[in-house]
Structure 1
Amino acid sequence: MIALDFGFGALEAEFWRMVFVMTRIAAALFAAPLFGANTVPPQVRVMVSGAVAVLVCAWTSVVAPPNLLSLTGMLAIANEVVLGLALGFVLQLSFAAPLIAAELIGGGMGLSIATTSDPVSGAHSPALGQYFSVVMTVLFLGLGAHLDWFSLLVESYRTFPPGTAWFSAGHMAQVTAFASQMFATALIIALPVTLLLLLVQVMTGVISRSAPSLNLFSLGLPAGVLAGLVALIASAPLVTDRLTDLTRTAVGQSAALLEH
């Protein structure tokens, strides 16, 4: 398989076949929002990749290149990595939409300075971003979307077996279209709350012009925070429905990448 012979014959060939299959799975898990988090140890991702690779090897007739260290073998591995990263990255785009919405809402409420360390990405995100991220994660796992995504990952070996050219301009255009849809979804999520915050800020400005003796900062910031909290509570059912649709869209976008 790699010009090295340890004397195990067919068992050794199956081992390198499983290692080759793990490349696409490991790349997808690395780019996925939940499984690729900094809080998930690399050993866990390797074990999950190996477990899924065993199932793929048993369910499909995947054939690894005869020599993984040759130019053909390296190109096959690169193609597997790109396909896996694309499947995980599309899922990452869907999870980024609530965080962008939280940035818009937090800026309107005056809570943009209230940031916390996001355990998923390792970066600093607004406090509202943690709320939306937790709700999105609970809905994603509760609806079983992670199982559908793993099913698509296994099905990708039947649709695009190793050696099939997946990297094309059409698929890259699909990823770009998914990114634009992410920004549109973020605006839809943040629109009801930001509209109410805009009305509150306009009213605050009118009051400050009518009574210049009032302190604009002492009046506007509490009013914005209070109005934002009321708007978040009132729009919670709508946000939940939108995030539920977003979880289905995330899996649908991953499935669209597997179409020829």
Structure 2
Amino acid sequence: MINLDFGFGPLEAEFWRLLFVMTRIGAALVAAPMFGTVSVPPQLRVIGAGAIAVMICAWTDVQAPAALFSLAGMLSVAGEVLVGLTLGFVLQLSFAAPVVAAEVIGGGMGLNMAMAVDPTSGTQSPALGQYFMVVLTLIFLALGAHLQWFALVVDSYRAFPPGHTWLGAERFATVAGFATQMFVTAVTIALPVSLVLLIVQIVTGVLSRSAPSLNLFSLGLPAGVMAGIAALVLSAPVLTDLVVRLSADAITATSEIMRK
């Protein structure tokens, strides 16, 4: 069946089937923001992919290619990886919106110098971005969106059975369209605070021209930080509504990829 035979018969066939199913699930978990972070041990991702694969093997009749280590088998595995990475990448785009908004807000407040290691990517990101990321993660989990995403990953075996995993131009366009929507959401999150910071900077500039003896940096930086914090507190309900909508849109975009 797989061009390898260790003499275990049907048990070995089920093992290769399980390993083949784990390919798509593992790729989705690696690309997903919460499950593919550097803080999550690879062993835990393998255990999670194996647990979901056991259920899929029990619920569906997905079969591994007849010759897994042939050219056709490797192409089938590559298709599984493509589908899994796409499903996880859509979720990754939704989690990128608060980080983009934090870059814009932090630049206006002068807080981009306060950098911290982002546990989701392992790179440096603004401290304000960590706050937005925590809010998005909590709301995403509280809404049960992660369970809906797992359900879509399982349902992807019906929409994209092995051997029919080429997504096509329409589905890639859907992913690109959601990326555009992500940037729009990021601008919407940053807009209220950015407007307040713009007003503060204009007032600071007028005061510096009216009284040149004033130190612009000693006056403008504390005023910008205080105004930004006040604007963040006042716009917290707007941030919550946008994050809820962003989580729902991520699940909707994932389901649209499988419907097209």
Tell me if both proteins adopt one fold, taking TM over 0.5 as the criterion: yes
1 CA distance for matches of 2:149 and 2:16? Answer: 25
Alignment-derived partner of residue 176 in structure 1? 176
Residue 120 of structure 1: how far off its partner (Å): 1.5
Q: Deviations over 1:207-251 (max 9, x none)?
A: 111111111111100000000000000001110111111111111
Residue 7 of structure 1: how far off its partner (Å): 1.6
Q: Deviations over 1:95-114 (max 9, x none)?
A: 00000000000000011111
Moved more, 10-19 or 91-100: 10-19
Alignment-derived partner of residue 209 in structure 2? 209
Q: Aligned partner of 1:70: which letter?
A: S
Alignment-derived partner of residue 33 in structure 2? 33
Alignment-derived partner of residue 249 in structure 1? 249
Gaps of 5+ in 1: none
2 CA distance for matches of 1:112 and 1:201? Answer: 17
Gaps of 5+ in 2: none
Q: Deviations over 1:179-222 (max 9, x none)?
A: 11111110000000000000010011111111111111111000
Q: Aligned partner of 1:78: which letter?
A: A
Contact 2:83 2:165 in 1 (8 A): no
Alignment-derived partner of residue 192 in structure 1? 192
SS at match of 2:112: coil
| TM-score (norm: length of structure 2) | 0.98
| TM-score (norm: length of structure 1) | 0.98
Moved more, 94-103 or 60-69: 60-69
* Aligned pairs for 1:1-260 within 5 A: 1-260=1-260
Q: Aligned partner of 2:96: which letter?
A: A
1 CA distance for matches of 2:185 and 2:254? Answer: 17
2 CA distance for matches of 1:3 and 1:200? Answer: 70
Q: Aligned partner of 1:149: which letter?
A: W
Q: Deviations over 1:89-146 (max 9, x none)?
A: 0100000000000000000001111100111210000010000000000011111000
Residue 173 of structure 1: how far off its partner (Å): 1.3
Percent of matched pairs sharing the same residue? 64
Q: Aligned partner of 1:8: which letter?
A: F
2 CA distance for matches of 1:65 and 1:168? Answer: 22
Contact 2:31 2:88 in 1 (8 A): yes
1 CA distance for matches of 2:38 and 2:223? Answer: 37
Q: Aligned partner of 2:36: which letter?
A: G
Query: Would you identify which runs of 4 or more consecutive aligned residues in structure 1 move more than 6 Å?
Result: none
